[in-house]
Amino acid sequence: MSQSTLNRLLTQAVGVFLGIGIAVWLLRGFGLITFIPGGLILILFLGAIVLGVIAYAQKTWWRF
Q: 1-47: per-residue pLDDT in tens?
A: 677 888 899 899 999 999 999 999 999 999 999 898 999 999 999 99
Taking residues 54-58, report their average pLDDT.
Answer: 87
What is the pTM assigned to this prediction?
Answer: 0.81
Percent of the chain at pLDDT above 70? 94
Amino acid letter, residue 1: M
Residue 63: pLDDT band with limits 50, 70, 90: low
Domain residue limits, the chain: 3-60
Cβ burial 26-55 (10 Å sphere, 16+ → b, else e): eebeeeeeeeeeeeebeebeebbeebbebb
**In whole angstroms, what is the distance from residue 16 CA to residue 47 CA?**
10
